[in-house]
Each structure stands twice: as C-alpha cells, then as structure tokens.
Amino acid sequence: MSKPFISLLQREFSSRVWQLWGFFLAAALFQPLVYWLALKSVREPLAFEDIYVQSAAPVVLVILFAGLVGWMIWMSLRDVSNGSICTLMTLPGGRGQLFWSKLLGYAGAVFLLLAGVIAGILLCHPIYLSWRQEMARITSEEYSLTAGLWLSLTRLPLFRMLCPMTFPEILMSLLLLGALPVWACYTSWRIAGHRWIRGGILSLAAAFSWALVFRDRLMEPMSLNLSNLTILLIFTILLTVDSLWLLRRGDL
Amino acid sequence: MWNILRKYRGILSLSLAVIVVGAAYLLAWMPVLGKDFQIQLENTVGNPSAMGDFVITGTLTDGWEKTNFSLDSSGLSQKSQAISPDISEESSSFFDANTYFLPGKTVEEEFSADSREEQGWYEITKKLWSRQIQLVWDIQRFSFYSPTDSCVRINTGLTYPETACLTKSLVCGTYESTPSEEIIRENLSQQNYSPSKDLQDTILGDPNAGCVAEVNGRIYFVPTVSEIWEGTRYIYRIDRGESWAATAFAGAEESFGQVTPIAEVQNGNELDILGIYATLDGTLVLRVMRQGTILFQMYNPETGEMTGEVSAPGLWLVEGANFRFFPQENGFCASFTDYETEVSTLAALSGQNASWHLVQDVRQVSFLLEYAMWDGENLAAVGSKRQILGTKDVIRGTIWNPDGPIYDAQLNTIAEQDHQNEGHTHRFPQNLRIERRDSHD
C-alpha cells in the first residue's frame, strides 16, 4: 500500500477511532443492561437466546447499526461541505484511493461495532447463568446447562448472522456488513452532488435489496436465497463502480 | 505508553476487535469439545472387535447444529458443527394410492335425503348392497419442484364374494322440496362409492407406499388385499401413466394408463398381501401373511418367476406395529417395531446362490429399530430409545452371530435434553445407519 493511501486510511479510521469506541462501548454495555432488565420479568425457565429476543437488545442493535451508517454518511458529507474533499482528490495516487480508504475505514468501523455487539452478547451470558442458578434455587429444580452458548449461537437466526458458524453464512454476513459502508459512501456523495434521481433510485434499490437479504437471513436462516444474494452483490458492485466513477469525474 | 497507544490506536483497536470475536468462537466451541456435551459410549457388552466391518453412524441434531458420530471396532469418533444453510431443492416424489369399488350384482338400493340447517339444502345418500363388487386401484406419482405427475388406474379383476354396502352421498341445495329418488340418482351419478368398514378393512398395508416398489426406474405395484377377494392377484409393471390434470374428473370405472401383469402371486387366494418392496439388485419382495405367519415371496421382475418363499416365525409383533424394509444386494432385512413398548423384531434374508433363506433366527430388541444390515454371517441393528426419565435419548447398537448377540453398545449424550433446560428445541438422533467399512471409507 502506498504512503498516501495509508495516510488516507489513518485519516478515515485511526483519527476517528475514539468515536468508534463509543459505538463499541454502547453495544458492549447497553445489551447486558437491557438483558438484565428483561430478566427481571421472566418467571419461567427460558433459553438464553429466547430471553435475548424478548429483551430490547435487538432494538439496541438496530439503533447502533443505523447510527453507525448515519455516522458514515455524516463523515462523508462533512468532507464535502468543508471543502476537504477537494484537497483529498488532489492527493497523489489517484482519486480511487479516496473511495477505497473510506471503504476500508468504514469497514473497520463496522467490524469494531460488530465486536462490541459480540462482546455485549458474551457479557449477557454470565448474567443469564446467574439468573438460572437463582431460578434453580427458588424452584428447587436441578438445572444443568452444557454448551449453552454454542446452542444459543446456532439456534437464533440473529446470532447466526452476527457470529456465523459455517462458511456460507460467513460469506453472507460479510456481504451484509460490507454493503453498509459502500452504501453509505455512495449515498452521501450522491446527496452532496444533489443527484436525487439516479442516485436516489440506485440507493433505494440497494437498500431494499439489503433489507430483503436481511429478512431472508432472519426468517429462513437454513435456506439460501441465491437470487436475492446475487442481486445484493450486484448492487454492491454497482455502487462501488458508480462511486469510483463519481470521483473520477469530480462530480461531487 | 500513551504515545504508542495513540500512534497505533487503529491497529490496536482492530486487534482488540479480532480478539473479542475470536473469544466468542472459543467460548462457544470449548464446551462442545468437553465430555459434558459429547456423546458417550456406555454400557457395552462384548468385545468391540465383534463389530468387524460394521460401522454404526448417525447424527444427534436439533436442526440447527449437529454432532455426527461413527462407532466401529476401533471406537467412537464424533464431530460437532453448525448445519449449513441449504440451497438445493431436492426433487422428491411420492406415491399416492386410492381404491375404488364398482358395484356388481345389485341386491338392494336405498335412497334418502336428510334436510340440513340451511333451507333448501339436503344431504342426499344412496346405499347400494351388491355382490361381486369389483376392485379398482389408482396409483398417482407426484413430484415436488417439477411439473411431472403420473397416474394409472386399473381394474384389478378381483371381486368381493359377499354382499357389501357401498354408499354415495352429497350435500347440495336449492331444492324447493325433498328431492325424489330420480333426482338423487341423477345428482349422485358422478360420485364414487365409499365402502363399508368391513369392505375397507380388506384393503391392507400402507395405503400410500406399501403397494408400490421401484426397480431400475420402473414402478411395480400389487393390490394389497386380504385373502377374501376372489380372482388372480398379479404384480403389475407400470408402463405409462397419464397426467393428473387429464384424469382428475375420470369416473372410477374409467381405466387409464398402461400396465402389464408380470407375475401371478403364488397361492394368492390363501394370502393377505401386505406390501411390495425391492432389493438393491432388483428382486421384488412381497410381504404376505398366511394364517398369522409372515411370509416373504421373492419374484424376478424380468421373468415373473417366484424365486423363493421364506417364512419368518416370530417376526410379527402386534397389530399396528410399524414395518420397515432394509434392502441390500442379494437380500434384505425386515423389522417390526412397536412404539408403545419400544420393542422391535428383526429378520435377515439372503438370496445368495439362488436360494432364499433366513440368515439367522428372528431377533428381538428392546429399542426402536432404525436400521439393520447383515454381512453374510453377522447381523447388525441400530436404533434409539426415547427420552429416558424425560432427560435424554439413547442410541443402541447390537451385533449378532448365528449363535446369538456378541456385542451391544449404548450411546448417551450427557447434555440435558429436557426442554425446560435447553429451551424448546430438542436434540434427537437422526439418520441412524449401518455401513460396511469399505463403503464407509
């Protein structure tokens, strides 16, 4: 990697990493909090993943991921509004590296948030175990749990998306997570360039395709809808190519 | 220190993220490899070397993840993994069979019309007592994910010697007054007759799959009827079927498709025919009963010749016991399983050297038999017992030589299976099989 590219990458990721730590800590701490609150109202023995779904933890995830996408869009728009994009586009090494550095930086942000989410899930588990022990003490029943985390991570479709255990699922999760920074870059540049029709149509269509794949993973996790996955991949590539073309033309 | 953190904050952050994600996988996987989750081999009787070339395989799964295991003479091996999403839609087809009864010589007719709650609506009924009722057999083959379907209807030529009652009925309305016999007769003309219970009870076996067997892509069927029916029983080969759409409204008296009788069932008038099956090398096997004893008749589908008849005394369990057929080259295993008592019986037949015989005495086991196989001398069976004390399933395997059992093994999973502990999803044994070591490798 060339030095200008590394500098851009540092700008896009390293210089903003403290902000991303905010997302990480929010995911790692809010999930156990809402999980603990949900446990207070549970009076019957339920599995770890069943209580997670009933709690507000999935809502926390939606807010955090939506917030991160919003953050990515805001960061890109800020580059345009304060004029720094003009300077960045004149750096040696070609304009394409601006897109790739943003993409890698934002992908790192998504990965950091994902790690925070997984850390939050791991922190929920000992809370669940101590609640189970308390339930066993109160009801005088013998509860034993073996490999409970393994069973939870494989049985809940949401966990299978966040922590995939098979190669096809890893690829699908990578596609879902990787499409977010691409979409954020493209959408923000289209907004900055006031390209509402073409940019709007493509952005909305890509978002719809992403939502379909996300829905498939949640509702039918054990079957692969290849057509929807292919369409999302095509949209991701299309948005990437269009973003590079935008930068090349300077049409921001 | 702070300067190093500031300088490498990006890389350090990503590294921490990788560690967190890795820790999640590690924390999930480690207990899976522990003895509290793994399948345990317990309560073995006999020497494991008695397993010889037999390999018992199976899966413990809840539909989301699975533990595949393999037990042979060298011991137990297992591997746990998440189940991967599937894209393939396997083409699966199934058979459906129906019987129709055509009246013969009418003894008596009775017409009735019972009014319904809605004004002008009646349930009109025609009862017909008839002798020499004819039996028509209908076979349909349906396929998922492909538009093919195929139907055959044939008059078997069998007749019921006693007087039996056939009924047609229909609920219809817009009558100004009670419909007359003529109107009832006309409105019921398109309906098929339903048999009385006594007549229906003479149709035996699994109504959908037991009368059909497939050999080398060809379908054979036999009417599974009791001995009371008069006429010659044949094994038929289906040569051509019609599409369901073309035959959906055909009356019971209309035959369609093309079949060829390839063999006459020997002593058919003395037998209750219960089902037809096929071995891996293409021999057709009829399961029949004569005076309470299970018999197997073997037929060559090419020549129509009966190549053997073997009785299996002690194989029959109780009414309602589930029959299973396990085909092999040059033979097969057959079992009955009673789900109430979890007892199974097992017989192994060999057709080597053109002579059919029992490989060993009929065996009995105290578990739900899932699969069986013999290797020329020894016989192996695998099955399961349902939840013991509401906590776990166990898998059982047994090997016999001609003198008796030589090895018995029980596989337990220590993981508590009660739904209150593990959620509503239960891990259950699946795909229990026995293989020969050379085919397993």
Which residues 75-104 of chain B have a CB within 8 Å of chain A? 80-87
Which residue, among A16, A104, A128, A165, would best test binding to B if mutated, counting the most B CBs under 10 Å from its CB? A165
B416/A146 CB distance under 8 A: yes
Q: Nearest residue on chain B to A21, judged by CA atoms?
A: B13
pLDDT attached to residue B183: 83
- Give me the half-sphere count of Cα atoms (radius 13 Å) on the Cβ side of residue B122: 20
Residue found under tokens 């038929």: B236
Percent of chain B's residues with pLDDT above 90: 51
* pLDDT of B277 higher than 90: yes
C-alpha to C-alpha distances, B227 to A135, B55, B379, nearest whole angstrom: 63, 42, 33
B28: nearest CB among A45, A116, A149: A149
**Could you tell me the pLDDT band of residue A8, with boundaries at 50, 70 and 90?**
confident
Q: State which of A6-10, B7-11, B249-253 shows the largest mean pLDDT.
A: B7-11
Locate the chain B residue with the closest alpha carbon to A108: B14
Give the contacts of B307 (CB within 8 A, at least 6 positions apart). B283, B298, B299, B300, B351, B354, B356
- ipTM of the complex model: 0.90
Residue of B38, B422, B426, B428 to mutate, interface with A, max A Cβ within 10 Å = B422
Rounded to 5 degrees, what are φ and ψ at A183?
-65, -40
**For the ranges A138-152, A193-207, B78-92, B334-348, which has the lowest average pLDDT?**
A138-152
Residue ranges in B195-249 assigned as alpha helix (H): 197-200, 244-247
Q: Is B23 on the interface with A (CB under 8 A)?
A: yes
Is the pLDDT at B421 greater than 50? The verdict is no
Bridge pairing between strands B331-338 and B212-215: unpaired
Greater confidence, B356 or A147? B356
> Distance between CA B92 and CA B206 in Å, rounded?
19
The stretch B311-337 carries a mean pLDDT of: 91
- Given a cut of 70, whether residue A26 has pLDDT beyond it is yes
CA distance B424 to chain A (A): 8
Out of B13, B64, B81, name the one closest to residue A17 (CB).
B13
Can you give the pLDDT at residue B267? 93
Structure confidence at residue B254 as a pLDDT band (50, 70, 90):
confident
Residue A249: the pLDDT is 82
pLDDT of residue B160: 94
Residues with Cβ < 8 Å from A139, sequence gap 6 or more? none
Q: Do the chains contact at A166 and B20, CB–CB below 8 Å?
A: no
Count of CB atoms situated within 10 Å of the CB of A87: 10
Query: Which among A112, A154, A223 has CB closest to B17?
Result: A112
pLDDT at B207: 62
B221-236 mean pLDDT = 94
* Those residues with Cβ within 8 angstroms of residue B226's Cβ, 6 or more apart along the chain or in another chain: B201, B202, B203, B204, B272
**What pLDDT was estimated at residue B148?**
62
Contact B164, B133 (CB under 8 A): yes
> pLDDT, tens digit, for every residue of B80-95?
999 999 876 656 677 8
| Dihedral sign computed on CA atoms, order A240, A241, A247, A251 | negative
Average pLDDT over residues B392-401: 88
The strand ranges marked E within B304-415 are: 306-311, 322-328, 331-338, 343-350, 357-358, 363-365, 368-374, 379-388, 392-401, 404-413
Q: In this complex, which of B9, B23, B422 lies closest to A151 when CB atoms are compared?
A: B422
Average pLDDT over residues A108-130: 94
Out of A236-245, B2-11, B224-233, which region has the weakest mean confidence (pLDDT)?
A: B2-11
Q: Using pLDDT thresholds of 50, 70 and 90, give the confidence band for residue B419.
A: very low
Residues B195-205 pLDDT 10s: 999 999 999 97
Mean pLDDT value across chain B:
87
> Alpha carbon of A17 to those of A109, A124, A181, A189, B14: distances in Å?
8, 25, 16, 22, 10
Residue percentage of chain A with pLDDT more than 90:
59
Most confident of A25-34, B246-255, B311-320, B393-402: A25-34
pLDDT band of B427, cuts 50, 70, 90 = confident
Contact residues on chain B for A119, CB-CB shorter than 8 A: 20
- Flag if A163 and B28 touch (Cβ within 8 Å): yes
Q: Which residues on B lie below 8 Å from A6 (Cβ)?
A: none
- Between chains, do B9 and A47 touch, taking CB under 8 Å as contact? no
Q: How far does B4 lie from chain A, in Å, by closest CA?
A: 13
CA B86, B420, B84 angle in degrees (round to 5)?
10
Q: How far is A68 from chain B (nearest CA, A)?
A: 16
Size of interface A-B (CB pairs under 8 A): 130
**Res B422: pLDDT:** 47
- Banded model confidence at residue B57, pLDDT cuts 50, 70, 90: very high
For residues A234-251, average pLDDT: 89
Q: B330 falls in which pLDDT band (50, 70, 90)?
A: confident
Q: What are phi and psi of B56, to 5 degrees?
A: -95, 125
Closest to B384 (Cα-Cα) out of B433, B325, B429, B334:
B429
More confident: B27 or A89: B27
Confidence of residue A206 (pLDDT cuts 50, 70, 90): very high
CB B251 within 8 Å of CB B190: yes
Per the model's pLDDT, the better-predicted residue between B375 and B177 turns out to be: B375
> How close, in Å, is residue B147 to chain A by CA atoms?
21
Q: Phi first, then psi: what are they for A7, rounded to 5°?
A: -65, -45
Task: Check pLDDT > 80 for residue B367.
Answer: yes
Q: B142-190: per-residue pLDDT in tens? A: 776 555 678 899 899 999 999 999 999 888 877 777 788 888 888 888 8
* Whole-number Cα distances in Å, B347 to A86, B46, B171, B373: 84, 22, 50, 10
Does residue A143 have a pLDDT over 60? no
The CA distance from A136 to the nearest CA of chain B, in Å, is 10
State whether A165 and B82 contact (CB < 8 Å).
yes
